[in-house]
């Protein structure tokens, strides 16, 4: 099984919500890296690696749930769970066929037809699961799961400053630090709250 990649810079003392960004970024990358070759029935380890990556991603999304915007998280989590299910449906016959090949090799002539019948059924199941997986991968691409995962952990966009022409002389603008943190100003208190995305909304 592919080892989980270490999370750069992760420490117990860092803020939970900062750890969420670091961890989800790595686990998302892992998932999409393993997508290559996953539909090749002769490369069964690719499915396994992607399935494990999906589980790891799902687990961290659940773990960091309090740091994430639930409206964004829920559909992502649902799609990751669906992907995990479809990968599991492909993985089960993969493993079974591998074990059955060994079993058939050790069987006597008289036992072989029955085992081959079972292998035939399992192969049909594998083909069907592969077709479902292909469909799911297409859906993920169409829904831009990768982009949505990136948006889930993206910092809040900087609020557009009020156009100079519209601003009254001497009116204070909202300001942004080098780190992207928005500084509260007197004008902010009366303005509509800035639209934020992802995990920052809860902060």
Cα distance between residue 166 and residue 169, in whole Å: 9
CB of 190 to another protein, least distance (A): 27
- Nearest residue (CB) to another protein, 108 versus 177: 108
Residues 125-184 that bind another protein (CB under 8 A): none
- Of residues 103, 132, 146, 155, which one binds another protein by CB under 8 A? 103
CA angle 155/157/159 to nearest 5° reads: 140
Say how many residues touch another protein, by CB under 8 A: 41
Cα distance between residue 162 and residue 168, in whole Å: 10
3-state secondary structure of 40: coil
Q: Which residue's structure tokens are 């999304």?
A: 61
- Nearest residue (CB) to another protein, 117 versus 173: 117
The answer to whether the beta carbons of residues 117 and 107 sit under 8 Å apart is no
Residues interacting with another protein, by CB under 8 A?
4, 7, 10-20, 23, 55-56, 59-60, 62-63, 66-67, 92, 95-96, 103, 107-108, 110-118, 121, 199, 202-203
């Amino acid at each position: 099984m592919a080892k989980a990649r270490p999370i750069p810079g992760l420490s117990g003392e860092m803020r939970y919500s900062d750890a969420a960004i670091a961890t989800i970024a790595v686990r998302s990358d892992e998932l999409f890296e393993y997508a290559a070759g996953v539909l090749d029935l002769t490369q069964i380890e690719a499915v396994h690696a992607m399935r494990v990556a999906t589980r790891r991603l799902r687990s961290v999304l659940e773990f960091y749930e309090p740091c994430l915007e639930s409206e964004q998280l829920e559909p992502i989590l649902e799609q990751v769970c669906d992907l995990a299910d479809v990968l599991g449906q492909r993985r089960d016959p993969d493993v079974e066929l591998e074990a059955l090949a060994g079993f058939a090799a050790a069987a006597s002539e008289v036992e072989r037809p029955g085992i081959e019948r079972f292998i035939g059924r399992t192969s049909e199941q594998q083909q069907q699961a592969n077709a479902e997986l292909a469909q799911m991968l297409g859906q993920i691409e169409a829904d831009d799961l990768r982009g949505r995962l990136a948006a889930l952990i993206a910092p809040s966009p900087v609020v557009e400053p009020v156009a100079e022409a519209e601003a009254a002389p001497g009116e204070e603008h909202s300001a942004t630090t080098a780190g992207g943190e928005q500084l509260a100003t007197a004008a902010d208190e009366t303005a509509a709250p800035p639209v934020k995305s992802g995990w920052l909304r809860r902060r």
